[in-house]
Chain A
């Protein structure tokens, strides 16, 4: 039984110098057999386990994670949450997630610090203006809040942006989704882990998958560094390493894994109270609650699993940041890192069954998976429990690369690619 977090538990634990807080989740050894195993203990994997236990009463399940939970892309992204995607299928998927975000802290009894501070996307050339206006209309037809802003309105909403017409990439306008914002990424993983653990899910860290055992066209179990685990259902949520797991099962996926970089500055007083994305120049800025500027850059163009990325990528991003925000010119950057993102040819995710019975993949989120964490978990849990996709993720099947029915968000959704 989990103790409830509340102001009273905070006071009670303060009296004992915060030394007696209950463990948030157990540290079990794997059982011999589970009804389902989720490979990958990031936000999406833990959310999948949480909804499998909660909505589909599958409590005899495990999450296996090769490192520690939330140590991959969950802890490496720039925490932006929005749902202003162009196509109907994407709008349905991402807004489903946004609706869950709005009540997530209450549901998990864990403060994920979801902050609807708005996300603004800037237009820097005439094609951007046309694309963003089109996307605004498409969003509104899908019931997603979106407004188009003139240059003056952009300046009013975020006064530190340089809207001078003389700069290399002048601000010609922008879009604003007010329901969008940020959340504390670690808390999302920890909140889902605590919730799943309380319903009996085994979260097994430092347990790397080494092989997938098949009997003909069905899954029989997985080989791990902690021994063989028998199971009929395996849900793979391994982000940048999805192809590595797929190769173990003899599958090929339409993915390429590339480093995506981010960096944070030294902490300063509140200066930017929204999220500004500038896709044409690959510059994304927000400010964390600690006061650091959180800056996202672009991906490298080559396949790599190094979690580093090239220097010229961050250099290009910081050039753009300095031109758009001259006030940041004397800020010092504290940390830089890379995460490995798995990118699909159409830049849309895959939440799908495969040709192998009992093997499911949730991957291809590319540069923007964090925002979808709750929705992705919910829909993937539905897919695993029913062996059929939910109508919201039916379009994101693996077979779309054969049928040609792609969800082509590349560039169209004002996403970084």
Chain B
């Protein structure tokens, strides 16, 4: 359990939020031309990093807005939070 600094509402308890998985997985631009392998990669394969990972979170029981988070999964320390559409900070 940890505190999350929602870019719209400020610091709130983590249980107000919903984790949305790995960030910056781009939807294929030409879905009809994708091979099965490429579909599997897009849909299912995940980095699942032990260490610094880029994620999407949703303030589900608050403003209900989505945003991005850089978090160390080995100790749950939050490194950075930035809005959707913004460039991820350099790590």
Residue ranges of A at the interface with B (Cβ–Cβ < 8 Å): 241, 243-244, 247, 252-257, 300-306, 308, 310-312, 342, 345, 401-404
> What CA separation (Å) do A305 and B55 show in the bound complex?
15
A305, B47: Cβ atoms under 8 Å? no
What is the distance, in angstroms, from B43's C-beta to the closest C-beta of chain A? Answer: 8
Contacts of B40 in A (CB 8 A): 254, 401-402
> What CA separation (Å) do A264 and B89 show in the bound complex?
42
Given the contacts A241-B50, A402-B37, A254 and B76 also touching, CB distance less than 8 Å: no
- Kindly state whether residue B21 has any CB partner on chain A within 8 Å: yes
- Kindly state whether residue B24 has any CB partner on chain A within 8 Å: no
Given the contacts A305-B50, A306-B74, A312-B1, A403 and B45 also touching, CB distance less than 8 Å: no
- A406 (CB) vs chain B CBs: closest residue: B44
Contacts of A241 in B (CB 8 A): 50
Contacts of A402 in B (CB 8 A): 36-37, 39-40
A345, B44: Cβ atoms under 8 Å? yes
Given the contacts A303-B73, A305-B74, A252 and B47 also touching, CB distance less than 8 Å: yes
- B19 (CB) vs chain A CBs: closest residue: A302
> What CA separation (Å) do A374 and B43 show in the bound complex?
32
What is the total number of residues of chain B having a CB less than 8 Å from a CB of chain A? 25
> What CA separation (Å) do A310 and B2 show in the bound complex?
8
> What CA separation (Å) do A303 and B21 show in the bound complex?
8
A243, B73: Cβ atoms under 8 Å? no
B73, A253: Cβ atoms under 8 Å? no
- Kindly state whether residue B5 has any CB partner on chain A within 8 Å: no
Q: Which of B40, B41, B45, B48 has the most CB of A within 10 A?
A: B48
A252, B45: Cβ atoms under 8 Å? yes
- A315 (CB) vs chain B CBs: closest residue: B15
Residue ranges of B at the interface with A (Cβ–Cβ < 8 Å): 1, 14-15, 18-19, 21, 36-37, 39-41, 43-50, 53, 55, 73-76
> What CA separation (Å) do A20 and B13 show in the bound complex?
54
Given contacts A255-B46, A305-B50, 7 further A-B contacts (CB under 8 A): A243-B49, A247-B49, A254-B40, A303-B55, A311-B1, A401-B40, A401-B43
> What CA separation (Å) do A301 and B50 show in the bound complex?
16
**From A254, A308, A310, contact of B45 by CB (8 A):** A254
- A258 (CB) vs chain B CBs: closest residue: B19
> What CA separation (Å) do A360 and B30 show in the bound complex?
33
Q: Which of A312, A345, A402, A404 has the most CB of B within 10 A?
A: A402
Contacts of A403 in B (CB 8 A): 36
> What CA separation (Å) do A252 and B40 show in the bound complex?
11
**From A252, A256, A310, A311, contact of B41 by CB (8 A):** A252
Q: Which of A303, A402, A403 has the most CB of B within 10 A?
A: A303
Leading 3 A-B pairs by shortest Cβ distance: A302-B19, A243-B48, A254-B44
17 residue pairs A–B, Cβ–Cβ below 8 Å: A247-B47, A252-B41, A252-B46, A254-B40, A255-B46, A256-B46, A303-B19, A303-B49, A303-B53, A303-B55, A304-B73, A305-B74, A306-B76, A310-B1, A312-B1, A402-B36, A404-B36
> What CA separation (Å) do A299 and B35 show in the bound complex?
33
What is the distance, in angstroms, from A348's C-beta to the closest C-beta of chain B? Answer: 13
What is the distance, in angstroms, from B64's C-beta to the closest C-beta of chain A? Answer: 16
What is the distance, in angstroms, from B6's C-beta to the closest C-beta of chain A? Answer: 15
What is the distance, in angstroms, from A179's C-beta to the closest C-beta of chain B? Answer: 34
Contacts of B19 in A (CB 8 A): 300-303
**From B39, B46, B49, B50, contact of A254 by CB (8 A):** B46
A302, B44: Cβ atoms under 8 Å? no
A302, B45: Cβ atoms under 8 Å? no
> What CA separation (Å) do A255 and B45 show in the bound complex?
7
**From B18, B36, B45, B50, contact of A244 by CB (8 A):** B50
What is the distance, in angstroms, from A58's C-beta to the closest C-beta of chain B? Answer: 30
> What CA separation (Å) do A404 and B43 show in the bound complex?
11
What is the distance, in angstroms, from A221's C-beta to the closest C-beta of chain B? Answer: 22
> What CA separation (Å) do A247 and B48 show in the bound complex?
9
> What CA separation (Å) do A254 and B44 show in the bound complex?
5
> What CA separation (Å) do A241 and B73 show in the bound complex?
12
